Amino acid sequence: MVIKKVCCIGAGYVGGPTCTVIAYKCPEVTVTVVDLSQERIDQWNSEDFNLPIYEPSLVEVVKECRGRNLFFSTDIDTAIQEADLIFISVNTPTKTFGLGKGRAPDLKYIENASRRIAKIADTDKIVVEKSTVPVRAAESIQRILQANNKPGCSFEVLSNPEFLAEGTAIRDLLNPDRVLIGGDETPRGRRAMEDLACVYENWIPRKKIILTNTWSSELSKLAGNAFLAQRISSINAMSAICEATGADVAEVAHAVGTDSRIGPKFLQASLGFGGSCFQKDVLNLVYLCEALNLPEVAAYWHQVIAMNDLQRRRFANKIISSLFNTVTDKKIAILGFAFKKDTGDTRESSSIYLCKFLMEEGAHLNIYDPQVVPQQILSELKYPSICDDPKKVDRLVTIFKSPYEAIKDTHAFVICTEWDEFVTLDYQTIYNSMLKPAFAFDGRRVLDHDNMQQIGFHIETVGKRRNMKGLNGYTPVTP
Ligand code: NAI
């Protein structure tokens, strides 16, 4: 089958950019992205291109394709009916209740989407699971589809996990390291995989398109995110040793990363990783291992999350101890609330947890982020697991439109997100506007620490002791 019409269920961080790039690169394919949320679809369709997500270059590509062969709609049924191929790109968050709470992914959105496809479709479809799912989820989708399909209508389910990173989504989609397609090892399954591969071949060289069995494809996505998260936790574990000994984690990362077997990427120590995927997908893997009766394997991967939690806590403790062991009623500016630069996404951002720890101590927080809207910041902080009293958030948190205004008259500022603009702020002016001693906490290691110290700041960072006097009782062992 030559794919002419594509439907994507879920117009979020994955469905939106992925299908925009497919429409951009395949002008002869009509792509309709559908969602239950009228608000989200209205934003995708907004005249002033005020899109629901921020990604560099996304607006430009949407401008090129929207109304030509790219459409956003809430008419899910028509889009399903007309499509040759349907991507399922709905959310799969960690369960917050019931069996597998705090570990297993909630698959209700996947199941609802599958049931809708089965109910509506009256011609053969290729159904592609793009959401990140546990191994063998495709089998469940296939069963739901087969048990509910209309006579004469058949489905082929493929796994095609998405590897884009937020902040570089368009770049990643235009030039991916690889595209992974998993399917049944039957002639029909093979044909469906080839049909999807043909779509990608419009702009991606064939040698970058990997075909595997369905389960390998599903597991590879979890494995990929687990390996990436593990590297961050590994360097963060080293940062704790650096802070206690006088080694510098940047020097260690450089020395380790120049080994070609290891490589330099993802070795940046920080106050911890965030984002909607790393924690969720590692927990998903942990749950899978537990279900498979592999408790040691589960414990191994769970430690990646434990190390991340520790890193956030250690950084908050460093702030509190530096500020003379109390932050109660002190004013602290938080620079950056997105989980990383070049995105407006705040899901699982380390900023949230840092704010939680500081609010528990009664600190007043002045928050600034160039992309995250105030409403979003407040709703993250008012989540019951972060702060059980929304009024406390209203009392302690103020949101600013400028970093200078946020930092003025504070005791300290903390860099939580590595936005480029934070590197080039006028730190002399900032220093002059702060209470003294003026403290700077660089949770992303983006500032020039010697320069900050020369200006007069007391600066603390991750993975490097600024004050070499007294090594916390550590005595180097002499052989
Ligand atoms: P998201 O929450 O931004 O978007 C999901 C969308 O699906 C929402 O707009 C929701 O309203 C919609 N939806 C849910 N059920 C629906 C239904 N039955 N019919 C129509 N629309 C429905 O989620 P995001 O970030 O796009 O993630 C989607 C999947 O992709 C997840 O499994 C995630 O793990 C995976 N993924 C996410 C990446 C990321 O960077 N955000 C990267 C790679 C994979």
- pLDDT tens for 309-354 read 999 999 999 999 999 999 999 999 999 999 999 999 999 999 999 9
3-state class (DSSP) for residue 442: strand
Q: What percent of the chain is modeled with pLDDT above 70? A: 97
Tell me the per-residue pLDDT of 224-268, one tens digit each, with 9 for 90 and over.
999 999 999 999 999 999 999 999 999 999 999 999 999 999 999
Cα radius of gyration rounded to whole Å, the chain: 24
Q: How far is the CA of 91 from the centre of ligand 1 (A)?
A: 3
Residue 112 Cα: closest atom of ligand 1: 18
Whose C-alpha lies nearest to ligand 1, atom 44?
162
Q: How far is the CA of 281 from the centre of ligand 1 (A)?
A: 14
Q: How far is the CA of 105 from the centre of ligand 1 (A)?
A: 12
Q: Residue 278 above 90 pLDDT?
A: yes
CB of 370 sitting under 6 A from ligand 1: no
What whole-number distance in Å separates Cα of residue 109 and Cα of residue 44?
21
Whose C-alpha lies nearest to ligand 1, atom 25?
13
- Crossing angle of helices 295-322 and 214-245, in 10° steps, is 40
* pLDDT at residue 336, rounded to an integer: 98
* pLDDT at residue 1, rounded to an integer: 79
Q: Give Cα separations from 369 to 11, 316, 403, 469, 476 (angstroms).
A: 24, 19, 8, 35, 42
Q: Residue 367 above 80 pLDDT?
A: yes
Tell me the per-residue pLDDT of 180-201, one tens digit each, with 9 for 90 and over.
999 999 999 999 999 999 999 9
Q: What is the mean pLDDT of the chain?
A: 96
Question: Mean pLDDT, to the nearest integer, of 390-398?
Answer: 97
Q: Residue 381 above 80 pLDDT?
A: yes
* pLDDT at residue 468, rounded to an integer: 52
Q: Which one of 20, 35, 75 would you pick to mutate in the ligand 1 pocket, going by the greatest count of ligand atoms within 8 A of its CB?
A: 35
Q: How far is the CA of 307 from the centre of ligand 1 (A)?
A: 27
Residue 116 Cα: closest atom of ligand 1: 18
pTM reported for the whole predicted model = 0.95
Parallel, antiparallel or unpaired: strands 458-461 and 439-442:
parallel
Q: Is 8 a catalytic site residue?
A: no
* pLDDT at residue 467, rounded to an integer: 63
CB of 162 sitting under 6 A from ligand 1: yes
Sequence-ordered alpha helix ranges (H) in 292-338: 295-322
* pLDDT at residue 471, rounded to an integer: 47
CB of 109 sitting under 6 A from ligand 1: yes
Q: What is the DSSP letter of 408?
A: T
* pLDDT at residue 302, rounded to an integer: 98
Parallel, antiparallel or unpaired: strands 364-368 and 439-442:
unpaired
Whose C-alpha lies nearest to ligand 1, atom 21?
35
Whose C-alpha lies nearest to ligand 1, atom 32?
131
* pLDDT at residue 470, rounded to an integer: 45
Active-site option among 8, 26, 277, 416: 277
Question: Mean pLDDT, to the nearest integer, of 401-420?
Answer: 98
Residue 165 Cα: closest atom of ligand 1: 40
Q: How far is the CA of 131 from the centre of ligand 1 (A)?
A: 7
Question: Mean pLDDT, to the nearest integer, of 11-23?
Answer: 98
CB of 276 sitting under 6 A from ligand 1: yes
* pLDDT at residue 126, rounded to an integer: 98
Contact at 8 Å (CB) between 441 and 413? yes
Q: Residue 476 above 90 pLDDT?
A: no
Tell me the per-residue pLDDT of 42-89, one tens digit each, with 9 for 90 and over.
999 999 999 999 999 999 999 999 999 999 999 999 999 999 999 999
CB of 91 sitting under 6 A from ligand 1: yes
Amino acid residing at 250: A
CB of 90 sitting under 6 A from ligand 1: yes
* pLDDT at residue 447, rounded to an integer: 98
CB of 37 sitting under 6 A from ligand 1: yes
CB of 18 sitting under 6 A from ligand 1: no
Tell me the per-residue pLDDT of 445-470, one tens digit each, with 9 for 90 and over.
999 999 999 999 999 999 998 765 54
**Helices and strands, number each (H, E), in the chain:** 18, 14
Q: How far is the CA of 163 from the centre of ligand 1 (A)?
A: 13
* pLDDT at residue 479, rounded to an integer: 46
3-state class (DSSP) for residue 292: coil
Q: How far is the CA of 10 from the centre of ligand 1 (A)?
A: 6
Question: Mean pLDDT, to the nearest integer, of 430-444?
Answer: 98
